[in-house]
Amino acid sequence: MAIEGARMKRLIEFYRDEVADRAARPLSEQRTRRLASFVAHCTDSHVRSVLEIGAGAGRDGQVIAEQGLAYVGVDVTPAAVEHCRALGLDAMVASATDLPFGSATFDACWTMSTLMHLTEADFELALGEIHRVVCPGGLVEVGVWGHVSNLERIDENGRYFRQLSDENLLASLDRIGEVVAFDTWDPRPDGGRYQWARIVR
């Protein structure tokens, strides 16, 4: 537990110091396109409520909320939550592994670049929590940095990453529901790539 606690502390410290910078940083073209598609799908499907896991600087949350969707964001970093609240977003400090909501509370869930910081056991807990809080038939979109093979690493900023192969990520996401779309982009020379999936609960 001491190692896991230290990893979480480092993650919170890193993102605490990054909130202002990330708020000013534009989203990538792919992220912007996927977010627009997610919001359009929610609107077309008469989705009312959206949970974001890893609210960060509120960039995605603002786009979601501006479309009239009932948005709630969670983040483990208090500074990120404070920043989101200053933007007028409904946000709270909470972990993906222990979401403070009842079963079938949300119509949809959006989580980008967050679940990759969880150990294998916590990742499985988080998937179970997403399955629990999203209504049957609901929409879930997940984005993480993956790899051509499974690996764990600590980056130069002390952040823990667990990166999965496409095959292993898809096998894990089956726990939430049916994966109806999957894509990768930004391939790196070391074998890394960004992975995105759309899942129907």
The per-residue pLDDT for range 128-170, each reduced to its tens digit, is: 999 999 999 999 999 999 999 999 999 888 889 999 999 999 9
At residue 18 the predicted structure's pLDDT band, cuts being 50, 70 and 90, is confident
Q: 46: exposed, middle or buried (C-beta count within 10 Å: 0-12, 13-18, 19+)?
A: exposed
pLDDT at 101 over 50: yes
Within its chain, how far is the Cα of 104 from the centroid? 18
pLDDT at 1 over 50: no
- Domains of the chain (ranges; CATH) run 2-200 (3.40.50.150)
Summarised one tens digit per residue, pLDDT across range 109-130 is: 999 999 999 999 999 999 999 9
Q: What is the mean pLDDT of the chain?
A: 93
**135 — alpha (psi -120 to 50), left (phi > 0) or beta?**
beta
pLDDT computed for residue 4 by the predictor: 65
The share of the chain scoring above pLDDT 70, in percent, equals: 98
